[in-house]
Amino acid sequence: MTKPTSPLAVDWSDGSYELTAPSLEPAAQALVDALTLTADDSVLDVGCGTGNVALLAAQAGARVVGVDRAERLLDVARRRLADDGLGRISEFVAGDVTDLPFSDDGFDAAASNFALIFADDPDRAASEVCRVVRPGGRVALTSWLPTGAIYRAGRVLREAVASDAATTPARLSWSERQFARDVFGGAGTVVITERSLAFRHSSAEAWLTEIEDKHPAWRAVRTAIGDQSDAWRDAHERSLAILLSENESSSAFEVTSRYLLITVTLND
């Protein structure tokens, strides 16, 4: 088959991303902590998915709005906050981070947990988030670093569907500190720290089977190359070998991913 030359589009409503989202909650908590919220704050969760940041910010007393392109995940987030008794102080809106459906300066803070990094136009996404946060407000986001078992397994997938040209970024990416400084530097003071996040499951095989069946990105690759293809079988075997070789647990499955926590205090 001819490999596509552009990155694969992922429909985040497909599958069951809500099974993966809980594993990202510690990073959402790190974002909420970095925003140092007060009960009077209004917070935008950018690329909210199932509302990890929104839930924690609302539990801290803030009023929250979540925005995402994936309508099905917005419904999951709405139900989740309502079930937690936070329906009255939360709202979830369909929209793209490169064209946010909000007026200027409307939020005290914005956070994006591994979501803004997927925007096709990073400069535009960053400028939109800064536009909707008031002067002196805070912006925080997380971005994966290119290390660890899950990154390497993801690279196997990307290589299965994309040509070298499509997997090689033409410029720096969100995994490089200088990229965030370039994108946000004019808007305020940028502080970047490195963090880690553990992924756990009963076994590497069980983790991979679940992610292949339920995660939107894995499902997009499987659809693109066909689950009966040699390419898919090869990607599965290579991914499993990576996960097994980097497993940090002797009795189950545990691997660590590293990420950047990027905070920006906007100019007054």
Ligand X SMILES: C[S@@+](CC[C@H](N)C(=O)[O-])C[C@H]1O[C@@H](n2cnc3c(N)ncnc32)[C@H](O)[C@@H]1O
C-alpha torsion angle, residues 106, 110, 115, 117 (rounded to 10):
100
- Residue 137, classed as helix, strand or coil, is strand
Q: Could you tell me the smallest distance in angstroms from the CB atom of residue 229 to ligand X? A: 26
- Residue 86, classed as helix, strand or coil, is coil
With contacts defined by CB under 6 A, how many residues of the chain interact with ligand X?
Answer: 21
- Per the CB < 8 A criterion, the answer to whether 66 and 94 are in contact is no
Please name the residues in contact with 158: beta carbons below 8 A apart, sequence gap of 6 or more: 7, 167
Q: Which of 69, 134, 155, 238 binds ligand X (CB under 6 A)?
A: 69
- What residues numbered 118-137 form the site for ligand X, per CB under 6 A? 118-119
Nearer to ligand X, 203 or 223 (CB): 223
Interatomic CA distance for residues 35 and 41, integer angstroms:
10
Beta bridge partners of 193: 261
174 touches ligand X by CB under 6 A: no
Interatomic CA distance for residues 145 and 194, integer angstroms:
9
Q: DSSP secondary structure string, 163-184?
A: -HHHHS-SS--TTSHHHHHHHH
Nearer to ligand X, 113 or 143 (CB): 113
Nearer to ligand X, 49 or 188 (CB): 49
97 touches ligand X by CB under 6 A: yes
214 touches ligand X by CB under 6 A: no
The tokens for 247 are 């497993």
Nearer to ligand X, 44 or 208 (CB): 44
Looking at residue 222, its amino acid is: R
Q: Which of 41, 42, 60, 68 binds ligand X (CB under 6 A)?
A: 68
Q: Which of 15, 28, 236, 257 binds ligand X (CB under 6 A)?
A: 28
Interatomic CA distance for residues 95 and 78, integer angstroms:
15
21 touches ligand X by CB under 6 A: yes
77 touches ligand X by CB under 6 A: no
The tokens for 214 are 């339920």
48 touches ligand X by CB under 6 A: yes
113 touches ligand X by CB under 6 A: yes
Nearer to ligand X, 92 or 253 (CB): 92
Looking at residue 41, its amino acid is: D
Nearer to ligand X, 141 or 243 (CB): 141
Report how far Cα 116 is from the mean position of its chain's Cα atoms.
7
Q: Could you tell me the smallest distance in angstroms from the CB atom of residue 174 to ligand X? A: 12
49 touches ligand X by CB under 6 A: yes
12 touches ligand X by CB under 6 A: yes
Residue numbers at the binding site for ligand X (CB under 6 A): 12, 21, 24, 28, 47-50, 52, 68-70, 73, 96-98, 113-115, 118-119
